[in-house]
Amino acid sequence: MPNATFFNLPEAKRQGIIDCAIAEFASTDYDSASISNITKQAKIAKGSFYQYFEDKKDLYLHLIDLASQQKIAYLKASQPPDPDIGFFAYLRWLFSASTQFELAHPALSQLVNRAFYGELSFRDQVLQRTQMASLSYGRELVEQGIAQGDIDASIDVDFAVFILSTLSYRLRDFIPQQLGLTPEQLAQNQLSPEDCAAIERIFDELVRVLEHGLGRSPAPAQSIPTKSLTQAN
């Protein structure tokens, strides 16, 4: 976490350092990223950097935390076309809204993707931090779903949040496996329109399973076989 000295800087200078750091980490992998480049672009002395952050990892984890905070703030501020849609329709909309956030913040998204899909020695620590950041928001969503009657009120809230969090977390591994995407393609946001459409179908299927379960129903919805999720490639 940054030192108090960093937070005492004028907002414009503080944001300038953050913007330069995001640009540096988005453009190259963690090991190749240079504190010297960041301080040069931010027009600060290298010695000053170490008054603000313990080291490069400290800065990087701070950027990861900022990315999570900004994404959640974006989702909370956004509104679906129909404000009265139920929990599962809202959850499906959230997946698309998350994609829109990534498109609107390409450098920040690329930084996060490099953390998830690149060769990062402390990747598990990054994933844990992002998952923890989403738990509070997930609880809000689950409690809202119960209040609306869309989620069974007998289900333990913590367990429901765990399910949503775990599934969302594991999608980061499932999607590239299903679509045959390399870590480099994901780290650099090199997705084709066909890849994006296939990802949307995965979101559809995930929400369908969450809403209706895995058990067979008298009139089951059309499932999406694995082949159809990957046929774009």
In tens, the pLDDT along 141-195 reads: 999 999 999 999 999 999 999 999 888 888 888 988 888 888 677 777 777 889 8
**Encoding tokens for residue 199?**
């990802």
Average pLDDT on 10-25 reads 96
For the ranges 1-10, 78-87, 209-218, the one whose mean pLDDT is highest:
1-10
Burial (0-12, 13-18, 19+ Cβ within 10 Å), 131: middle
Q: Rounded mean pLDDT of the chain?
A: 87
Contacts with 174 (C-beta within 8 Å, 6 or more apart), sequence order: 202
Q: In 10 A of CB 142, how many CB atoms?
A: 22
Question: What would the pLDDT profile of 118-156 be if each residue is shown by its tens digit?
Answer: 888 998 899 888 888 888 889 999 999 999 999 999 999
- Quote the pLDDT of residue 231: 46
The residue behind tokens 């909309």 is: 93
- Angle, CA 128 vertex, CA 123 and CA 133 arms, to 5°: 130
Average pLDDT on 43-69 reads 95
Q: 18 near 63, Cβ under 8 Å? A: yes
Band the pLDDT of 219: cuts 50, 70, 90.
low
Maximal C-alpha separation, the chain? 68
- Quote the pLDDT of residue 119: 84
List of domains in the chain: 1-54 (1.10.10.60), 66-230 (1.10.357)
Question: What would the pLDDT profile of 74-109 be if each residue is shown by its tens digit?
Answer: 998 988 888 788 999 999 999 999 988 988 888 998
Among residues 19, 10, 28, which one has the least CA distance to residue 59?
19
**Does residue 2 carry a pLDDT above 70?**
yes
